[in-house]
Amino acid sequence: VSSGSAAELVGRKAEISQVRACLRAKRNVLLEGPVGVGKTHLALAVTRELGAPVFRVDGDNRYSEQKLSGWFDPPTVIQKGFTPEAFMPGPLVEAMKKGGILFINELNRLPEGVQNVLLPAIDERVISVPRLGEIRAAEGFLVIATQNPKEFVATSHLSEAILDRFELVVLDYQTEGEEVSIVSDKLKGRGGQSKELKLLPLASTRLARMTRNHPRIRRGASVRAALSIAEIADVMIRDGAAFKDAFLAAVLMALPTRIEMEREADAESSLRAEMNALLREWVDQVLAELGEGQLKKKT
């Protein structure tokens, strides 16, 4: 990417041009992809380069209509009544008034009633707020939303009505080379790098990627996990730990929260034991691939 804030994005050329095209065509975008694949990062990079103000919503099942559009501040209402100055605009009203982007993380986690508030805002570019009246969207108002695919987490479906108003941009995991770049970019600011520290981005990325294609694993690890492994191991190695000890310890801290085993009849504890055994196996494999013998000599 040659210009703008999207420069800090590694790769993603095709997806960036898809999102840009939608926004220039004044279409709302739904970004879909597994946890940690880079949806938020991509959305924020592209909206930043537009220069439009961005108002962010993080969807959860307790998010309310009032929180999305706005609410009256009780003390001010007592003093001044239901006047416009007593109204605290929510992100939807702010984005509409300022012609900005409403960025909704995990749209499918919002209760359906809250999702439906978006329909008139998108279609007629107007919503009506009780006791305040109609609010019209300024030129430029658009919605970018993200969702994780259904099979990954216990999330609700988006209604047909909502889906019909979004264009879909699918994000899949990036190539190993791109993921390694993401991790090494993140570690760059950490001062002098020994030969060993330079191996961390590749080792961490390789390990995270191994978790994605195993029959016993339902949800594998993203580049976010690779970032964690590398950042933790980096600290430990700088503190004097041996590469392989630091790498194993970081893997065992970073992955159990992020990967999910297929559940059969097994108890939670045996699943954890099986997971740890798998992780140790993969750590050995990655270390062997990187030439463990050579690393040992150095420490």
Ligand X SMILES: Nc1ncnc2c1ncn2[C@@H]1O[C@H](COP(=O)(O)OP(=O)(O)OP(=O)(O)O)[C@@H](O)[C@H]1O
Chain positions 163 to 202 lying near ligand X, rule: CB under 6 A, are: 182
- Write down the least CB distance from residue 11 to ligand X, Å: 5
Helices (H) and strands (E) in the chain, counts: 13, 11
Q: Which of 14, 24, 31, 167 is closest to 105 using CA atoms?
A: 31
Distance CA 250, CA 239 (A): 14
Taking CB atoms, the residue at the shortest distance from Mg ion is 40
- Residue 182 binding result from ligand X, Mg ion, none, given CB thresholds of 5 to 8 Å by partner type: ligand X
When the beta carbons of 11 and 140 are compared against ligand X, the nearer one is: 11
Should residue 10 be labelled a site residue for ligand X when binding is judged by CB under 6 A?
Answer: yes
Helix (H, G, I), strand (E, B) or coil at 11: coil
Cα torsion 219, 44, 117, 168 to 10°: value is -60
Rounded to 5°, the CA angle 239-245-249 comes to 90
Select from 21-29, 32-40, 49-57, 273-281 the region that touches ligand X (CB under 6 A). Answer: 32-40
Helix (H, G, I), strand (E, B) or coil at 229: helix
Beta strands 70-72 and 260-261 are unpaired
Tokens linked to 274? 């099986």
Distance CA 32, CA 61 (A): 19
The size of the interface with ligand X (CB under 6 A), counted in residues, is: 17
Should residue 155 be labelled a site residue for Mg ion when binding is judged by CB under 5 A?
Answer: no
Should residue 40 be labelled a site residue for Mg ion when binding is judged by CB under 5 A?
Answer: yes
Select from 38-46, 69-77, 115-123, 247-255 the region that touches ligand X (CB under 6 A). Answer: 38-46
Taking CB atoms, the residue at the shortest distance from ligand X is 38
Should residue 36 be labelled a site residue for ligand X when binding is judged by CB under 6 A?
Answer: yes
Distance CA 251, CA 225 (A): 9
Distance CA 102, CA 107 (A): 11
Identified binder of ligand X from the candidate list 20, 48, 165, 224, rule CB under 6 A = 224
Select from 39-47, 48-56, 67-75, 136-144 the region that touches ligand X (CB under 6 A). Answer: 39-47
- Residue 90 binding result from ligand X, Mg ion, none, given CB thresholds of 5 to 8 Å by partner type: none
When the beta carbons of 35 and 114 are compared against ligand X, the nearer one is: 35
Tokens linked to 159? 């209604």
Q: Which residues bind ligand X (CB under 6 A)?
A: 9-12, 33, 35-41, 148, 182, 223-224, 227
Contact residues toward Mg ion (CB under 5 A) are 40
